Amino acid sequence: MTQIDPAKLTADLIRCPSVTPEEGGALQLLGAMLEEAGFSVQRADKAEVSNLVARWGDKAHPKTFGFNGHTDVVPVGDEAAWTVDPFGAEIKDGVLYGRGATDMKSGVAAFVAAAIDLVTETPPDGAILITVTGDEEGPALHGTTAILEHMEQEGEKMSVCLVGEPTCPETMGDMIKIGRRGSMTAWFTFRGKQGHSAYPHRARNPLPAMAKLMDLMASHQLDTGTAHFDASTVAVVTMDTGNAATNVIPAECTSAVNIRFNDAHSGESLTEWMQDLVQQVTDETGIVIEMAVKVSGESFITPPGELSDLVSRAVVAETGVTPELSTTGGTSDARFIKSHCSVVEFGLVGKTMHQVDENVPVEQIHQLKAVYSRVLKDYFA
């Protein structure tokens, strides 16, 4: 049987305009390919989000290798700034262009191609489970979480999982993600009393309270890092009054911070820390402060061991590069999978993801398939 060309499959997926939460035909394309190769394909759609779960092999087999990825993409932005059709999948000088070329239709294409080739050429003693969501770039409320809910209902289980997100910062093969920092955002509303700026004693200005609280948070060192994580960070991301008049003290202002935290903290412990600071500033200023918090994901780590060693050996063999085991970067759907099984991430160089003229060298897509193919063969050896 002819092997699946991962670059061609990436191009076919790019031509599916799957901007979150639109499916765009991407999962239909993958589902048909996987069914033809002998996979049992189900949809785990929830709300307006489309999700796919495909299994090859016995559901009860204790050795099931899982892949996870997403076919949804971010909006193209200013289409006039693109030099190519964002959904045209044009190849120029060995480089494939299009929204999702890097993040992460190439990753999905590579692991689907590797899995189909393996089960059709040398069927393993084990099982493969492929999960693909259409809600990773959006709110992520009904994507991989819905897939895991569906798996639990159907008695599906992955022994280990490899997420195909772009992980390499500079060179193909230079980084594997073995964990991720936690992420949370807090929004603050400061309520005072409006008045004339010439008579500040008749008003209650919320702006100094906002400045004081934001300074306390931004200047505080949460930690200096842990064994596998860099130091946690607090970033003030917005401070707003909506006040255009220079002779008016506003009654209300708002601000927000984003915290990326390591395994020395939890969303709960950081919420308590912020609540203490809010109370401190309230006591000092008399300004009423309301706080709302959203924890996007807790920090997690898959300790270096069998899974990271398996992927590292494959990366070295296919790229000649020894990967760094890292927890840097933003969040990914691995934050949901970590509660199901051991999970690591490996994928392409991510320099152009989310950018105008997003692109990937065709050679890298073939290298990525080769890495995934070796991972599967070694896992089932």
3-state secondary structure 8-25: HHHHHHHCCCCECCCCCC
Q: Are strands 51-56 and 127-133 parallel, antiparallel or unpaired?
A: antiparallel
Q: Which two tokens stand for residue 166?
A: 């772009």
Catalytic residue, from 12, 23, 72, 345: name it.
72
136 in active site: yes
Q: Which residues contact 286 (CB under 8 A, 6 or more apart)?
A: 204
Q: Cα(224)–Cα(134) distance, rounded to whole angstroms? A: 36
| Cα–Cα nearest to 9, from 112, 135, 93 | 112
CB of 221 closer than 8 Å to CB of 261: no
35 in active site: no
Q: Which residues contact 228 (CB under 8 A, 6 or more apart)?
A: 178, 179, 263, 301, 303, 325, 327
Q: Which two tokens stand for residue 273?
A: 């820390």
Catalytic residue, from 12, 117, 136, 252: name it.
136
The residues that are catalytic are 72, 136
